[in-house]
């Protein structure tokens, strides 16, 4: 019997208009968007549907926006395919909160509010540090780590073979890109982000996030949730909280997380939320895995048909 894992999108996947066609087509989707607005006390839905892009891209809007859009996709798949069983969840960075919420570790409202605050705290950290990130394409992990050590930056995301992301002070990122190209990287591209996520420059967000998580009831997840920090399943509720705080400054070990699931016999993966970045990573990790996604009405219909 094939095992199914749900994968949840991370920051950078946001796009103006996300969820709009789903809300128009499905009353359930509209109800979740309304519920999110009520929980947050502002119209996040309007920002997701209509932008402007400058507003949606703000970390404090992008993070809860992606969480919400991914949650709506999750709820619609469950509604359309009531027999669907999933045995694990995982999410990229912010998506790990969606993964935990989908596994029953926290309520929808709590997950959404924590993610909104996480976005605010990370934005505040960005504002006081001059940080940046860059994608390193076509260079192995070991030489990339050497580049990081030489330039004084860190490895932030280990996404898939041939795609790594580095993070640190903006000037050092420029130097690291030059060094990576000199070592044979096909490309070294600075990313359009507000700061140095998953690096020590985000440390000021950790204490605030810890306090926020302390106000939330965290339960043991109903299925395995793979942790970005360890690339292993989360443990007890107090450990979940500690790992999620740690995650803010730690590397996202995505490729390892997926390889762990593959080794456990998972053969079907459903990416939930805007974009198809995680599907792209999967192609580089294991082409033989069945990869579905839900980002809009069209992809929902394809996925429902495949699951039926």
Strand order in the sheet with 163-169: 154-160, 163-169, 131-137, 187-190
With contact defined as beta carbons under 8 Å apart, do 274 and 71 qualify?
no
Q: Would you call 70 a catalytic residue per the annotation?
A: no
Contacts (Cβ under 8 Å, ≥6 apart) of 133: 156, 165, 166, 167, 173, 190, 191, 193, 196, 197
Mean pLDDT of 63-88: 97
Mean pLDDT of 115-133: 96
Where are the domains positioned within the chain? Answer: 3-127+200-307, 130-190
Whether this prediction's pTM lies above 0.95 is answered by yes
Q: Would you call 93 a catalytic residue per the annotation?
A: yes
Task: Pick the catalytic residue from 2, 70, 107, 198.
Answer: 198
pLDDT tens column, 246-257: 999 999 999 999
Task: Pick the catalytic residue from 70, 93, 199, 251.
Answer: 93
Mean pLDDT of 142-150: 97
* 3-127+200-307 is classed CATH 3.30.930.10: no
Domain 130-190 in this protein, CATH class? alpha beta
């Amino acid at each position: 019997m094939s095992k199914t894992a749900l994968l949840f999108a991370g920051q950078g996947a946001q796009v103006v208009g996300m969820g709009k066609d789903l809300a128009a087509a499905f009353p359930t989707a509209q109800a979740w968007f309304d519920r999110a607005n009520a929980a947050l006390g502002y119209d996040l839905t309007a920002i997701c549907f209509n932008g402007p892009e400058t507003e949606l891209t703000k970390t404090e809007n992008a993070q809860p926006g992606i969480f919400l859009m991914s949650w709506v996709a999750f709820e619609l798949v469950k509604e359309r395919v009531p027999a669907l069983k999933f045995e694990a969840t995982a999410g990229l960075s912010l998506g790990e909160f969606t993964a935990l919420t989908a596994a029953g570790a926290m309520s929808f409202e709590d997950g959404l509010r924590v993610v909104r605050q996480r976005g605010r705290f990370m934005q505040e950290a960005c504002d006081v540090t001059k940080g940046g990130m860059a994608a390193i394409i076509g260079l192995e992990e070991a030489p990339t780590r050497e580049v990081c050590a030489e330039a004084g930056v860190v490895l932030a995301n280990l996404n898939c073979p041939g795609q790594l992301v580095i993070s640190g002070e903006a000037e050092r990122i420029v130097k690291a890109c030059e060094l990576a190209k000199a070592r044979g990287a096909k490309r070294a591209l600075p990313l359009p982000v507000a700061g140095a996520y998953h690096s020590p420059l985000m440390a000021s967000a950790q204490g605030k996030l810890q306090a926020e998580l302390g106000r939330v009831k965290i339960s043991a997840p109903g299925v395995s949730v793979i942790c970005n920090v360890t690339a292993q399943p989360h443990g007890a509720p107090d450990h979940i909280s500690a790992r999620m705080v740690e995650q803010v400054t730690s590397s996202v070990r995505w490729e390892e997380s997926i390889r762990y699931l593959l080794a456990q016999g998972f053969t079907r993966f459903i990416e939930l939320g805007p974009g198809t970045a995680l599907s792209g990573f999967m192609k580089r990790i294991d082409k033989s895995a069945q990869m579905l996604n839900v980002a809009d009405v069209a992809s929902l219909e394809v996925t429902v048909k495949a699951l039926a």
